[in-house]
C-alpha cells in the first residue's frame, strides 16, 4: 500500500515524539532498546494500516498483529501525552513555588510505566472486543401506542465488520445470542462487512440463521459500499435478510400496525446516485393509519430527515460509541449523537455502539452490544 506523504509524515512524527519523550528519561544503556521498541511499533502500525485501508487478507496472524499494534500505538500516544502533561504541571508548580518537580527516579518510572500500561489497556480492550456482546435492554416510550404493540421487541445488531479478525465463529456466537432473545423483529443496521463477497461469504453466512417472529431486516452501511454494495445487497437478501432500500413493510399485530422502513447509508449516493438515502421516499405508498413508524438508518445523521418525514423511532449505528478512548470524544465532530437513546425534535434516535469493531480488535470505554429495544406506552403527563 502507498501512503500519502502527509499521512506517512504524521505517523513518523508521532512515533518520533513518543521515542524522544521516553528515551529522554532512560539511562544511556536503555536508549538502544527503547529506540528499537519504537521502530518495531512503527513497523507493525505501518503494516496494520494496510489491513484497514488496503487489500484485506482472507486470514492470518499478521493481520491480528498489525491491527492490534494500531490500538496499542493509540494508547501509547495518549499515555505519553498524559505523562508530559503531568510533568508539565509538576514543573509549573516548582516554578511558582508550589511544590517540587518530579525527580529522575519518578521520570524513569513513569517512562517505563507508559508502554506497560498501554499493553494492559490493549489487553483489556481485546477481551472486551472479543467477548460475546452483552445485551443492552432499552425501553422506547411511544405516545398513543396501541395495546397490541406494547412490548413489541426489536433486536438490533450493527457494525459487525466481518473481515480480517472477525470471522465465522464470532458471527455464529452473535447469532445464537440474538436468537435466544426471541425478538419480534431483528434489525441489522449496516457495516456488516469489511471485504468482498468472494472473501467473506463463508464468514457472514451464519446471519442466515437469524430468527424473528416478524422478519429479519437490514440496511446498508458505508462499508458495504467500500466492498461492492450491489453484491452485498444481493448476498444479504440471499441469506434471508430483507434489505430495505428507501422502502418499507407494514407489520400487523391485531388491529395495530407498525411500519418498518429502511434507507441506504447516508453517503450511498457517492457510490451510486440511485441509492441516495431518503426517509421520505421510504414512506411512499404507506397507509395513513399506521400506529408506529420505525426507520433503520445506518448513520445518526439521517435523524433530521427522519424527523421531518414523521418517524417515531430511528435505529442507527456507525459511531461504535467511539470504540476506544480517546476517539469517543471526537465522534461528535462528525455525528450529532454518539450512543444511546436520544431525542431529536419529535423523533427518538437509538445509536448502537456496535456489535463488532473496526480495525484494531479493541474496545475501551465503549463496549459492544446487542440491543433489545422494547416499545412501551409513554406515561401520561399530569
Q: Is the pLDDT of residue 146 over 50?
A: yes
Mean residue pLDDT of the chain comes to: 91
Average pLDDT of span 164-168: 94
329 upstream amide cis, omega within 30 of 0:
no
What pLDDT score was predicted for residue 382? 44
> Residues of the chain with pLDDT > 70: what percent?
94
pLDDT in tens, 336-360: 999 999 999 999 999 999 999 999 9
What pLDDT score was predicted for residue 55? 54
Query: Given the C-alpha cell 455464529, which residue does it identify?
Result: 172
Angstrom distance (rounded) from CA 187 to CA 313? 13
CB 227 within 8 A of CB 236: no
| Burial category of 77 from C-beta neighbours within 10 Å (exposed 0-12, middle 13-18, buried 19 and up) | middle
What pLDDT score was predicted for residue 331? 87
List CB contacts of 55: < 8 A, sequence separation 6 or more: 1
Domains of the chain: 5-130 (no CATH), 135-377 (3.60.21.10)
What pLDDT score was predicted for residue 58? 47
How many degrees, rounded to 5, is the angle at CA 231 between CA 47 and CA 159?
A: 55
List CB contacts of 332: < 8 A, sequence separation 6 or more: 338
Average pLDDT of span 191-203: 95
pLDDT in tens, 167-186: 999 999 999 999 999 999 99
Amino acid at each position: 500500500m502507498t501512503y500519502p506523504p502527509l499521512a506517512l509524515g504524521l505517523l513518523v512524527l508521532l512515533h518520533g515524539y513518543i521515542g524522544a519523550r521516553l528515551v529522554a528519561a532512560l539511562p544511556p544503556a536503555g536508549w538502544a532498546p527503547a529506540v528499537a521498541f519504537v521502530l518495531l511499533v512503527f513497523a507493525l502500525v505501518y503494516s496494520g494500516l494496510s489491513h484497514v485501508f488496503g487489500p484485506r487478507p482472507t486470514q492470518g496472524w499478521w493481520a491480528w498483529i498489525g491491527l492490534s499494534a494500531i490500538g496499542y500505538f493509540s494508547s501509547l500516544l495518549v499515555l505519553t501525552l498524559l505523562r508530559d502533561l503531568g510533568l508539565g504541571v509538576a514543573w509549573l508548580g516548582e516554578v511558582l513555588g508550589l511544590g517540587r518537580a518530579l525527580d529522575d527516579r519518578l521520570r524513569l518510572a513513569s517512562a517505563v510505566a507508559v508502554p506497560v500500561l498501554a499493553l494492559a489497556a490493549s489487553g483489556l480492550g481485546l477481551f472486551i472486543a472479543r467477548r460475546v456482546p452483552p445485551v443492552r435492554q432499552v425501553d422506547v416510550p411511544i405516545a398513543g401506542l396501541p395495546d397490541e404493540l406494547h412490548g413489541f421487541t426489536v433486536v438490533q445488531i450493527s457494525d459487525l465488520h466481518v473481515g480480517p479478525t472477525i470471522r465465522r465463529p464470532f458471527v455464529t456466537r452473535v447469532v445464537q445470542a440474538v436468537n435466544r432473545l426471541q425478538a419480534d423483529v431483528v434489525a441489522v443496521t449496516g457495516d456488516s462487512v469489511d471485504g468482498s463477497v468472494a472473501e467473506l461469504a463463508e464468514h457472514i453466512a451464519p446471519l442466515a440463521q437469524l430468527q424473528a417472529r416478524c422478519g429479519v431486516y437490514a440496511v446498508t452501511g458505508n462499508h458495504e459500499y467500500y466492498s461492492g454494495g450491489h453484491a452485498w445487497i444481493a448476498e444479504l437478501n440471499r441469506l434471508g435478510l430483507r434489505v430495505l432500500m428507501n422502502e418499507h413493510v407494514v407489520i400487523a399485530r391485531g388491529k395495530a400496525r407498525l411500519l418498518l422502513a429502511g434507507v441506504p447509508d447516508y453517503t450511498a449516493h457517492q457510490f451510486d446516485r440511485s441509492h441516495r438515502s431518503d426517509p421520505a421516499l421510504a414512506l411512499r405508498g404507506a397507509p395513513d393509519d399506521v400506529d408506529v413508524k420505525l426507520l433503520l438508518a445506518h448513520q445518526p445523521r439521517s435523524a433530521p430527515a427522519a424527523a421531518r418525514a414523521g418517524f417515531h423511532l430511528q435505529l442507527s449505528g456507525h459511531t461504535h460509541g467511539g470504540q476506544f478512548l480517546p476517539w469517543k470524544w471526537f465522534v461528535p465532530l462528525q455525528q450529532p449523537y454518539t450512543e444511546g437513546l436520544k431525542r431529536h425534535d419529535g423523533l427518538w434516535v437509538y445509536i448502537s455502539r456496535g456489535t463488532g469493531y473496526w480495525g484494531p480488535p479493541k474496545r475501551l470505554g465503549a463496549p459492544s452490544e446487542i440491543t433489545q429495544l422494547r416499545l412501551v406506552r409513554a406515561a401520561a403527563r399530569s
